[in-house]
Structure 1
Amino acid sequence: MAALSKSVPHSCYEIGHTWHPRCAVAALHVSRSALAESLRIYGTLYLIAAILRKRKLDYYLYKLLPEILQSTSFLTANGTLYIVCFCILRKILGKFYIWSPGFGAALPASYMAILIERKSRRGLLTIYMANQATETLFRMAVARGTITPLRHGEVRLNLSKNLLLLSFRCKDGLKGFTYSALKFIVGKEEIPTHSFSPETLMDKVCKHGPRHRCCKHYGDNCISYCIKGFIRMFSIGYLIQCCLRIPSTFRHLFTKPSRLLSLFYNKENFQLGAFLGSFVSIYKGTSCFLRWVRNLDDELHALIAGCLAGISMMFYKSTTISMYLASKLVETIYFKGIEAGKVPYFPHADSIIYAISTSICFQAAVMEVQNLRPSYWKFLLRLTRGRFALMNRKALDVFGTEASKYFKDFTPKLDPRYTVVPPELPLELS
């Protein structure tokens, strides 16, 4: 409580937009950089998604651009409204408290911004930011010694996959993106409603061998079914990592041509491939084995197979994947509870959770960057063209969160004509 009552008298210029003393101009700078980055992100994302989903020409002509612009407006507004609320809150309070430059300013800004986005996307954004916020709170607790991290915690958290896969085996267990993603990874053969498809020559070759009558993989025996599943998902995981490394590799192609080899021969490429491949092959192999042993196809098999397949996380220990699956599990249980009439429905819950989650991340970005996920911090820097790193965090060290831990060498050059507290490095006026 003592920390909450502490305050610093600095102005919003001295703490936040140190690159320009005018609030409106600073907000315009952030808005301009956020707009450019948002267009790049959503333009690329929506175009690739449209190609992968094999959208028709009408979508490209009438829907693609409006969707890009709407999502761009949302992200741009989130960045712009944050700096606006940052300044307004300082003027209302007359000083900065530990919660006001981060959480306090981001909360109204994030809530207003998410209302601009399409309703169909708010759920995904909420899940993403809830994951970020949960991990951030976990890092904060570890840094303060409140909790001790478990060894291989990602693998243990991966147990949530089991319940998801159990729901996945049910006829209406999962819907939307999660259902489609699991269907893509595990294969449509594990869905009870899978229908028979025409055989090819390769199918006839693979068909010879042991296959239980309850198995739905009509074109393969159980052994080839597992092997093909491993090869398919290993290849996809390998290619995903290669694609992610292409931009950074080609930037240094002419200065360091040897980097081209690292694009294809990289440890992370094989780790993701091994994770996806082993997960699918273990899941499919266990499911087939249980059908042979029990002589029936049961939804319980998904729980056992998923539990064993969770070991695959040892190859690729990703907190992001584990947290996402855990969040989707909570979401699935919640909506199932609503359908059953056991849990009340809260209107705009996704928008509220998004706003709170984003505010937690912004609080960390301002007061303790060391506890924020590095990838999200880099995203904030890209969104603001590095301006988020220009905050005067040395003045915030009084709150005891080591705000300037990664910024010891940075001291903003402030114009003394617009400061409340004498600046450490006065600007030489011409």
Structure 2
Amino acid sequence: MGLALSKFRPLDYSCYEMTHTWSPLCSAAALDIGFACVLQSLRIYTTVYAGTTVLKCRIPSRADLIKLVLSILQSTAFLSYNAFGFATAHCLVRQVLGFCNFWSLGLIPGWISSFLAIFVEKHSRRGMLATYVTNVASESIYYSLRNNNIIDRKPYIDYLLFSISMSGYHYLNTTLETPSLDPALKLTRLLIQDSKSEKLASKNLQEGHKHQQHDELDPDQQHDEFDPDQRHAYLTSAIKASFKHFLFGAGGQILLSLFNLIRKGRRSSGGWIDKTRIGFFLGSLTLLSRMSMFVLRKFSGSVEGWHGLVAGLISSPSYLIYRNNSIPLYAFWKLVEIVLRMSSKSGYLPKIPFATELIYASSTAVLFHMGMLEPQSLRKSYVAFLDQVTGKKIGKVNRLLVDHEYKTNSSKTIQYKPIYQEAHISDQLKSLLPDVGTLKNM
């Protein structure tokens, strides 16, 4: 507790001494980051939106091309404003408070800039962005708590989250009268249903009501919900679907390996089994889900909501074939988003103004904080992303000084010793040289 409270201790160092160590001017430092982010954002979003257009498999019209360019520019403006705003907000917070501490270096300016920036992005993309950053931020918080010895390692927490998520998705797909258009629900619906099985279920339910009325007149008369032909058709459909999803996953993973081979010029590690794990994961998940639903429906005589809960639990071991933390985290937070949205529409929960924007700002603030001061707790791919969009400037934060003042290990992952201009640093910092930095030779 004492160590946690000590991180609120104010420091008198300037923002040049702590963060934008490559330039003593706050405005110049913010422009450096903003300009670097514009260039990287244009490249990123051009690839994303152009790829989406190609996947539609049709020749774009003039209106489509104009919309494509506008979307690229809008998303570029959003991400660039987020990065430029963070640098600007950091210096403004330092000026307003008159000091800085462990939390004001990244968390507070990160929240301010992210909350303002998300309004620049298209409304249709805000929910997806909020879910994604919440996914990465929750993982980072977990690793931060572990790295600081606040909690112990939980070896199967990812499996637990995946089991809960699959049960939730299966339950919603089983009980919703009108199929949801949410992409996550549509995707998981493919695992347990297809057009043929839905028609079969509807037909069997109608026949079940007739049999039920007949059984009330003749209790000794027994019936089977599925006759042999129907059972054969359902099992064949389930096997075909699982094989189809296996081919889709395995093919996608192999193509990705080939792409990395062409781009990096080196072969990825692992044999063919490792290169088809996604296929085995999707195929087994589909087969276990559909077979579970089939057996439960057969013995209960109807489709019940609890079938989805059980089928989700039974199909969950397939995750162990391709164990990746990103899958359960994204699935869990997307499920939370869906449940909260449905509860709000149904009147069970009040509508919170700007809820999506607030979630995005809070989660992104955590990521900015982790990227600056606890990169060891952040996913390596996201550290690389932050380094890329800031023009490698986030790596020039004086983590040695942070470690000296707060007894942390932020410089363990990213090792950088700043080179200062002597005229712009304090005597306090000079007394710590050369341990936390050096002076520029004149």
Same fold at TM > 0.5? yes
Which of 233, 240, 260 lines up with 1:228 in the alignment? 240
Aligned to 1:315: 321
Relative to structure 1, is the Cα distance of residues 83 and 285 closer, same or farther in structure 2, using a 3 angstrom cutoff? same
Q: What is the CA deviation profile of residues 345-384 of structure 1, one whole-angstrom value per residue up to 9, with x for unaligned ones?
A: 0110110111011111111112211111222111111212
What CA distance in whole angstroms lies between the structure 1 residues aligned with 2:269 and 2:48?
22
Relative to structure 1, is the Cα distance of residues 247 and 5 closer, same or farther in structure 2, using a 3 angstrom cutoff? same
What CA distance in whole angstroms lies between the structure 2 residues aligned with 1:56 and 1:125?
28
Q: Quick check: 1:399 aligned with 2:409?
A: no
Aligned to 1:10: 13
Which of 51, 54, 62 lines up with 2:54 in the alignment? 51
Aligned to 1:334: 340
What CA distance in whole angstroms lies between the structure 1 residues aligned with 2:135 and 2:418?
33
Q: What is the CA deviation profile of residues 13-40 of structure 1, one whole-angstrom value per residue up to 9, with x for unaligned ones?
A: 2221222222222222212221122122
Aligned to 1:203: none
- Shift of residue 117 of structure 1? 0.6
Relative to structure 1, is the Cα distance of residues 214 and 300 closer, same or farther in structure 2, using a 3 angstrom cutoff? farther
Which of 240, 243, 262 lines up with 2:252 in the alignment? 240
**Counterparts of residues 54-93 of structure 1 (less than 5 Å):** 54=57, 57-58=60-61, 60-93=64-97
- Shift of residue 61 of structure 1? 2.5
Give the conservation status (yes or no) of the 8 Å contact 1:171–1:192.
no
Aligned to 2:214: none
Give the conservation status (yes or no) of the 8 Å contact 1:416–1:426.
no
In our comparison, the structure showing a higher alpha carbon Rg is 2
- Shift of residue 395 of structure 1? 0.6
SS at match of 2:17: helix
Which of 98, 105, 108 lines up with 1:101 in the alignment? 105
Relative to structure 1, is the Cα distance of residues 150 and 190 closer, same or farther in structure 2, using a 3 angstrom cutoff? farther
SS at match of 1:76: helix
Structure 1: tracts of 5 or more residues without a match: 197-210
Aligned to 1:200: none
**Counterparts of residues 277-356 of structure 1 (less than 5 Å):** 277-356=283-362
SS at match of 2:401: helix
What CA distance in whole angstroms lies between the structure 2 residues aligned with 1:218 and 1:52?
36
SS at match of 1:100: coil
Which of 152, 170, 185 lines up with 1:179 in the alignment? 185
- Shift of residue 219 of structure 1? 12
What CA distance in whole angstroms lies between the structure 2 residues aligned with 1:427 and 1:358?
34
Give the conservation status (yes or no) of the 8 Å contact 2:89–2:109.
yes
- Shift of residue 290 of structure 1? 2.5
Q: Quick check: 1:419 aligned with 2:425?
A: yes
What CA distance in whole angstroms lies between the structure 1 residues aligned with 2:103 and 2:84?
19
What CA distance in whole angstroms lies between the structure 2 residues aligned with 1:164 and 1:155?
15
- Shift of residue 114 of structure 1? 0.4
Q: Quick check: 1:142 aligned with 2:146?
A: yes
SS at match of 1:5: coil
Give the conservation status (yes or no) of the 8 Å contact 2:422–2:440.
no
What CA distance in whole angstroms lies between the structure 2 residues aligned with 1:194 and 1:377?
49
Look up the equivalent residue of 1:230 and give its one-letter code.
S
Relative to structure 1, is the Cα distance of residues 47 and 157 closer, same or farther in structure 2, using a 3 angstrom cutoff? same
Structure 2: tracts of 5 or more residues without a match: 203-223
Q: What is the CA deviation profile of residues 32-67 of structure 1, one whole-angstrom value per residue up to 9, with x for unaligned ones?
A: 221122122222222222333456734523321111
SS at match of 1:296: coil
Look up the equivalent residue of 1:99 and give its one-letter code.
W
Look up the equivalent residue of 1:280 and give its one-letter code.
T
**Counterparts of residues 175-214 of structure 1 (less than 5 Å):** 175-186=181-192, 188-189=194-195, 192=198, 213=226
Matched residue count? 408
Q: How many percent identity over aligned positions?
A: 27
Give the CA RMSD over aligned residues. 2.9
Aligned to 2:166: 161
Look up the equivalent residue of 1:404 and give its one-letter code.
S
Aligned to 1:365: 371
- Shift of residue 325 of structure 1? 1.6
- Shift of residue 232 of structure 1? 1.6
Aligned to 1:31: 34
Q: What is the CA deviation profile of residues 101-147 of structure 1, one whole-angstrom value per residue up to 9, with x for unaligned ones?
A: 11011011101110101111111111111112211211122223332
What CA distance in whole angstroms lies between the structure 2 residues aligned with 1:342 and 1:251?
50
Aligned to 1:251: 263
Look up the equivalent residue of 1:61 and give its one-letter code.
L
What CA distance in whole angstroms lies between the structure 2 residues aligned with 1:414 and 1:273?
53
What CA distance in whole angstroms lies between the structure 1 residues aligned with 2:411 and 2:18?
12
Q: What is the CA deviation profile of residues 78-104 of structure 1, one whole-angstrom value per residue up to 9, with x for unaligned ones?
A: 111111111222222232201011101
Aligned to 1:208: none
